[in-house]
Amino acid sequence: MAELTYREAVIEGIAQEMRRDEKVVFLGEDIGKAGGVFKATVGLWDEFGDLRVRDTPISEQAILGAAMGAAMTGLRPIAEIMFSDFLAVCWDIVTNQIAKSRYMTGGQVDLPLVIRTANGGGARFGAQHSQSVENWAMMIPGIKVVAPSTPADVKGLLAAAIRDPDPVIFFEQKSLYATKGEVPDGEHVDEIGKAKVVREGDDVTILALALMVPRALEAAERLQAEAGISASVVDIRSLVPLDTQTILSQVKKTARVVTVEENPRLCGWGAEIASIIAEECFYDLDMPIVRITTPHIPLSSADELEDAMIPSADRIFETVRQEVD
């Protein structure tokens, strides 16, 4: 096991797959010579060269269109969209083209491609560079949606995404890039579609994703220590496919559930999961399903305001303590 940062794990995941498979190619803005604006692609251009790691113009529709055309004809492209907010400028290619083409053609085309993108807030970048848009992706039939919270998951799930025969949007939380964690040595490939119970508990289940996972864990420790509440924490890891088995079994066990999501409130993934629970585990529940979300408001740039919006460990702690009482 080596200790890597989240950003180093991105590099390792890509490099591992590019070494293994010549069909894996990588394109995006400033990803090559410059190593990416988040330094999450440093060294790839040096190792794999101009033909496999390609800098592009500022043309997101061309980036994803090219990735799609290449995937349809036999390559396995990884495309970077620098900030997830920019998915809006190429949303047609994602939602109308990539997500639908296999189905519309009666299964004729394969689309093995990965869209990597820096998601989420916390960097004081303001409303156009801080959004959590994993719910945008979850809402579209035909794309898989992955969002890791640890370096090990980054490497393993990114490798799995690259090997996946279907299109995957891979959300990297930009505030996590500098965080560190143990990553298995050697080839590491995880499985998409499996949630992870990262803390076992009896009284309440906290469902979290990406940046919300460490915050939920911190809250869970405090709940135990300060309020004697024993919380399960589930790292959802993948929104599509969704591991409802793991989620529902925790919910049944604890009879109480709180979701913690960074995307703004309306039609977030928490709503989807809450609605599944309300339909399928209704009689197992002891308490209303509580959602903790970023409020339905664009994000501010000032530290205090941004911090007040994105769910914090404090807010999770307070909310759970109050509700579980």
Partner 1 sequence: MAKKAGAKKKAPDKKAQLNDDIGEENRLTMWRLQLEVRQVEQRLHDLFFQNLIKGTSHLAIGQEAISAGFGAAMRPDDYTFCTYRGHAHTLVRGASMTGMIGELMGKECGMLKGKGGSMHLTDVEHGAMGSYAIIGAHLPIAAGAAWQAQYNKTGQIAACFFGDGTTNIGAFHEALNFAVVWNLPVVFVCENNLYMEYTPISEVTAVEHPAADRACAYGLPSIIVDGNDADAVFRVATTAFDKARAGGGPSLIEAKTYRYSGHSRADPATYRPEGELEEWMKKDPIPMYRQRLLDFGVKEDVVSGIEEAVLKAVDEATEEAKASPPPPLESAYEDVWADGGASWRN
Ligand X SMILES: Cc1ncc(C[n+]2csc(CCOP(=O)(O)OP(=O)(O)O)c2C)c(N)n1
Lay out the sheet containing 257-264: strands in order across: 196-199, 231-235, 204-208, 257-264, 290-294
**Identity of the residue, 265 or 321, whose beta carbon is nearer to partner 1 in the bound complex:** 265
CB nearer partner 1, residue 89 or residue 287: 89
> From the CA atom positions of the chain, what is the Rg in Å?
19
Q: Among 162, 251, 309, 324, which residue sits at the site for partner 1 (rule: CB under 8 A)?
A: 309
Considering the complex, state which of residue 5 and residue 132 has its C-beta at the smaller distance from a copy of itself: 132
**Which amino acid makes up residue 26?**
F
Measured distance CA(200)–CA(42) in Å, rounded: 37
At 207, the amino acid letter reads: L
Distance CA 65, CA 83 (A): 17
Residues in binding contact with a copy of itself, number by CB under 8 A: 51
Of 116, 129, 174, 196, catalytic = 129
User: Torsion-angle region of residue 26: left (phi > 0), alpha (psi -120 to 50) or beta?
Assistant: beta
User: Pattern 121-160, binding to partner 1, x per CB under 8 A?
Assistant: --xxxxxxx-----------xx------------------
Interface positions, 50-89, toward ligand X (CB under 6 A) = 58, 60, 82, 86, 89
CB of 203 to ligand X, least distance (A): 44
Q: Residue 306: in which H helix or E strand, if any?
A: helix 303-309
Region label for 18, one of left (φ > 0), alpha (ψ between -120 and 50) or beta (otherwise): alpha
Task: Tell which positions 140-159 bind a copy of itself, by CB under 8 A.
Answer: 140-142
110 near a copy of itself, rule: CB under 8 A: no
Q: How far apart are CA 178 and CA 6, in angstroms?
A: 6
Please report, as ranges, the residues that interact with a copy of itself according to CB under 8 A. Answer: 85-86, 88-89, 91-92, 94-96, 99-100, 103-104, 126-128, 135-136, 138-142, 240, 263-272, 274-275, 277-280, 282-283, 285, 287-291, 296-298
Please report, as ranges, the residues that interact with ligand X according to CB under 6 A. Answer: 29, 58, 60, 82, 86, 89
Which residues are catalytic, by number? 129
